[in-house]
């Protein structure tokens, strides 16, 4: 009987690519044969510890190899893993652990105190250690104790649950996105086709593994073709440069803010091995920086969500300059539309909500039928993003529905204003939010990262030439960096909260 179990790729890889690198981390290396051996040993050990098919195991950890090995061992058994954000409080973690009904939680020494506090009210939850922690069950020891044992891949259908991954909860309580083995398999296939992955590829992965950017972009997909993942515990621009040269990295994912940090790093390294780079929300100035840093790379503006198991659309190499600003066209096996409030397609060039369907799109939210019915209505996942197609079928993301600024009866797109500001030759990144106003309800204010010489006055003049008066930011803040989440997305809510304590570099009417 065939199986959709994603861990099934490991045994074949051990035969096809046995002695080739599969995983590299801080001087430690696993060949494909060794990775398969460790996953089997851990699966045997977990079975001995009472973890069985459909058990749920949470992980609270930054990027360590055991995170990936545990996720694959659980998948092999048909169990479910629940990756959680280590930046949450103990109370927030406790809420998610209870909601997911986990039987065990795994962590690293850095987050042992946090995790222990989170399970105080959950005495039945077992404590597992990815790296040795006193008083916790040591998974490395479990691997050693069961070395050489083999475990059959659980026979699973496409709809078998592989993972529960929680959304950021920016507009409500976090929702548990269900990703199935079928979702992950189809995502791996889509990434392989889209990126042209091959056994000689070596990806650098510093995106957090609790996020789809770490596990699925292309994440597991690099192993499906027998390639290698070079894992880093966290993002550091100098370490990134050194790893690219030392490991001859061919591809990676990098947020716009990270790209700017790499640009500013004093470390000198040969980055010529990189043949593709996925990013999002990159300005014209940062695009030029990327071209200079990675002269041989296809620069891919991408768009995806947790509910779509990462990348939904990619910009192709032939149009990476002529369609700059577009997030491209759908990856294989998914469909994307732009619709109005009644779910009817909008004309080319007009804005609407982006919706998607396909075998890599989640079936819904854990134990939340109302949210599932709303977001996945009509068989299409409603992203909450505003976008449009051009005449050639290329998608442009204009804004989040929740980030639309409502001013004096007018709805304006923060992304439209950001794009105008980004066209200033000295602007590296711009973020626009709505600020409360007693007369207009909301007015746009802008936070901008720029090159030396940028002035707020020149930005305002630039905006006035391209935007209607009501869209011109009423305040300009020149900053060195933006608050971001671990995947590099700007936290606009934090910018709104910080604004009252900041002094603007320019104010309307001042």
Q: Tens digit of pLDDT for each residue in 479-505?
A: 999 998 766 678 888 898 899 999 999
Assign 415 a pLDDT band (cuts: 50, 70, 90): confident
Q: Report whether CATH 2.30.38.10 matches the domain 303-401.
A: yes
Q: Buried (b) or exposed (e) across 48-70, using 16+ Cβ within 10 A?
A: ebebeeebbbbbbbbbbbbbbbb
DSSP-based three-state secondary structure for 354: strand
CATH architecture for the domain at 1-15+28-179: 3-Layer(aba) Sandwich (3.40)
pTM score, whole prediction: 0.84
Of 19-23, 291-295, 421-425, 476-480, the poorest mean pLDDT is in 421-425
Q: Tens digit of pLDDT for each residue in 76-120?
A: 999 999 999 998 889 889 999 999 999 999 999 999 999 999 999
- Quick check: 2 pLDDT over 70? no
Do 25 and 64 form a contact (C-beta atoms < 8 A)? yes
Do 231 and 65 form a contact (C-beta atoms < 8 A)? yes
Q: What is the pLDDT of residue 155?
A: 96
Q: Report whether CATH 3.30.300.30 matches the domain 404-507.
A: yes
8-state DSSP, 497: H
Residues 6+ apart with CB under 8 A from 424: 450, 454, 458, 459, 462
CA angle centred on 9, ends 64 and 221, rounded to 5°: 60
Residues 6+ apart with CB under 8 A from 133: 107, 108, 109, 112, 127
Parallel, antiparallel or unpaired: strands 202-205 and 251-253? parallel
Query: Peptide bond before 337: cis, by omega within 30 degrees of 0?
Result: no
| CA dist 28 → 23, 25, 53, 231 (Å) | 8, 5, 30, 10
- Quick check: 4 pLDDT over 80? yes
Domain limits of the chain?
Answer: 1-15+28-179, 303-401, 404-507
């Amino acid at each position: 009987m065939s199986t959709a179990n994603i861990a099934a790729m490991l045994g074949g890889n051990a035969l096809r690519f046995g002695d080739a690198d599969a995983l590299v981390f801080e001087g430690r290396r696993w060949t494909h044969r060794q990775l398969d051996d460790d996953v089997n040993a851990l699966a045997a050990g977990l079975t001995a510890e009472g973890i069985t098919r459909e058990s749920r195991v949470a992980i609270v950890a930054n990027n360590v190899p055991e995170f990936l090995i545990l996720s694959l061992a659980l998948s092999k058994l048909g169990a479910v893993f629940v990756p959680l954000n280590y930046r949450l409080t103990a109370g927030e973690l406790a809420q998610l652990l209870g909601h997911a009904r986990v039987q065990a939680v795994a962590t690293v020494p850095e987050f042992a105190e946090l995790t222990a506090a989170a399970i105080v009210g959950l005495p039945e939850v077992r404590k597992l250690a990815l790296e040795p922690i006193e008083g916790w069950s040591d998974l490395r020891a479990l691997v050693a104790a069961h070395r050489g044992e083999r475990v059959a891949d659980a026979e699973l259908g496409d709809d078998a649950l592989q993972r529960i991954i929680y959304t950021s909860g920016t507009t409500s309580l976090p929702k548990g996105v269900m990703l199935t083995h079928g979702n992950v398999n189809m995502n791996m296939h889509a990434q392989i086709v889209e990126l042209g992955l091959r056994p000689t590829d070596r990806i650098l992965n510093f995106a957090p593994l609790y996020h789809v950017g770490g596990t699925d972009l292309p994440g597991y997909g690099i192993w499906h073709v027998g390639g290698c993942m070079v894992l880093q515990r966290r993002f550091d621009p100098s370490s990134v440069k050194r790893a690219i040269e030392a490991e001859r990295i061919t591809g990676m994912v990098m947020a716009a803010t990270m790209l700017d940090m790499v640009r500013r790093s004093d470390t000198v390294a040969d980055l010529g091995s990189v043949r593709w780079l996925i990013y999002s929300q990159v300005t014209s100035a940062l695009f030029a920086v990327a071209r200079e840093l990675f002269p041989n790379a296809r620069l891919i503006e991408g768009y995806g969500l947790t509910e779509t198991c990462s990348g939904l659309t990619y910009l192709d190499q032939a149009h990476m300059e002529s369609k700059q600003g577009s997030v491209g066209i759908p990856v294989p096996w998914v469909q994307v539309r732009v619709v109005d409030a009644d779910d009817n397609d909008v004309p080319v060039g007009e804005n609407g909500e982006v919706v998607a369907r396909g075998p890599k799109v989640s079936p819904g939210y854990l134990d939340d039928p109302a949210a599932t019915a709303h977001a996945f209505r009509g068989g299409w996942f409603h992203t909450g993003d505003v976008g449009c197609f051009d005449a050639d079928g290329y998608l442009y993301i204009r804004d989040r529905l929740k980030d639309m600024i409502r001013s004096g009866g007018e709805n304006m797109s923060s992304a439209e204003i950001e794009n105008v500001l980004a066209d200033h030759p000295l602007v590296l990144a711009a973020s626009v939010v709505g600020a409360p106003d007693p007369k207009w309800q909301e007015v746009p204010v802008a936070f901008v990262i720029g090159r030396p010489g940028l002035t707020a006055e020149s930005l305002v003049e630039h905006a006035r030439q391209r935007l209607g008066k009501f869209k011109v930011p009423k305040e300009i803040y020149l900053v060195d960096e933006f608050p971001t989440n671990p995947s590099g997305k700007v936290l606009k809510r934090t910018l709104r909260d910080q604004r009252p304590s900041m002094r603007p570099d320019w104010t309307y009417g001042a």
